Amino acid sequence: MKVIYVFVAIAAISLGMRAREQTHRHYDTDDEDVLRQFVPNHHPAPYAVTRSLDYSTDGKHALRFEVRHNDVAVDLKGKTSFRSELFDYFPAPFKKISRYSFELLIPQDFPIENKRLVVGQWWCRPDKGEGRRSPALAQRFINGTFSLTMRHHDEKIMTGNYGHKKILYENKNFPLGLWNHFVYDIHWSYKNDGMVKVWLNGNLIVHYVGPVGYNDDLGPYLKIGIYRANSEKTYVVYFKNIYVFSPLYLEGV
């Protein structure tokens, strides 16, 4: 088994501070410098994250994520995983609505397996004394079914991964080989005033009101790409037109 190490950008904190001052962040995937605007969280093989014209409909690039058999990423604490992700180092604020917009393409020949697979998530940094937990919100594609799963818990220091789980959406006929446009409006709150609204290709598919996420010091971060269980097969997905809108921006809409 080959072991490949995760590179974590030292500049992540300064990126987060700058993001807090902005009303929105647009990750233009046609910009050849776009990869420098994210924080990497992947194995550093040259094919892990690239810019691609594979499914271009307008001559512009998308981000292509790839994970092959035994592509092991190791984080700074020595934890291993199979992933190729980028994340926006912008912790979402609590008690206000944040908006996220992006396009996702899962190829027509994508392997159909009954194994863990996340293709975009909102990750929560554990507070001091906590262990790792499942993402507060995750897009999953398992055994041919696309789903949105949410976790929440009000305990301040969680000693295990026991957040309450809720499936917000399932689609056994998710369009493959096509660009799918997602818009998320999320009110991050572990109390009953939380909210998730999701539009897929202009159609409202989720309107949930209730607890969303964990009782943390910092809000969740958007991560795009692939996080999976190991497989002998190669997984590839694409993202483009990625926006993160702050509550300050939404207040002015």
Measured in degrees and rounded to the nearest 5, phi and psi for residue 135 equal -60, 150
Cβ–Cβ < 8 Å for 172, 163: no
Confidence of residue 74 (pLDDT cuts 50, 70, 90): confident
Task: Quote the pLDDT of residue 227.
Answer: 97
- The mean pLDDT value of the chain amounts to 90
- Residue 78 burial (CB < 10 Å; 0-12/13-18/19+)? exposed
Residue pLDDT, tens place only, 173-190? 999 999 999 999 999 999
CB atoms within 10 A of CB 14: 11
pLDDT exceeds 90 at position 144: yes
Residue pair 119/252 in contact (Cβ under 8 Å)? The answer is no
- What integer is the mean pLDDT of 106-112? 98
pLDDT, tens only, 2-31: 444 443 433 343 444 444 446 789 999 999
Which tens digit of pLDDT belongs to each residue from 197-246? 999 999 999 999 999 999 999 999 999 999 999 999 999 999 999 999 98
| CATH code (residue 158) | 2.60.120.200
pLDDT for residue 22: 61
Whole domain around residue 9: which residue ranges? 3-251
Counting every residue written for the chain, the total comes to: 253
Cα angle at 20 between 17 and 25, to 5 degrees?
Answer: 110
Distance CA 188, CA 211 (A): 8
Query: If pLDDT is split at 50, 70 and 90, which confidence band does 248 have?
Result: low
Number of domain units in the chain: 1
Supply the pLDDT for residue 253.
55
Secondary structure letter of residue 176 according to DSSP:
P
Q: Give percent above pLDDT 70 in the chain.
A: 89
Question: What tokens were used for 98?
Answer: 């944040």
Q: Could you tell me the pLDDT band of residue 252, with boundaries at 50, 70 and 90?
A: low
Contact at 8 Å (CB) between 125 and 218?
yes
CA-to-CA separations, 160 to 1, 16, 80, 113, 121, in angstroms, rounded: 29, 27, 18, 27, 19
Q: What percentage of the chain exceeds 90 in pLDDT?
A: 78
Q: How confident is the model at residue 127 (pLDDT cuts 50, 70, 90)?
A: very high
Q: Is the pLDDT of residue 55 over 50?
A: yes
Record the tokens describing residue 86, joined without a space: 């980028």
Tell me the one-letter amino acid at 175: P
- What is the rounded end-to-end Cα distance, in angstroms, of the chain? 51
The string over 212-248, giving b where at least 16 C-beta atoms fall within 10 Å of a residue's C-beta and e elsewhere, is bbbbbeebbbbbbbbbbeebeeebbbbbbbbbbbbbe
Q: Whole-angstrom Cα distance, residue 189 to residue 186?
A: 9
* Assigned token pair, 72: 């092991």
* pLDDT tens readout for residues 88-105: 978 999 989 999 999 999
More confident residue, 4 or 81: 81
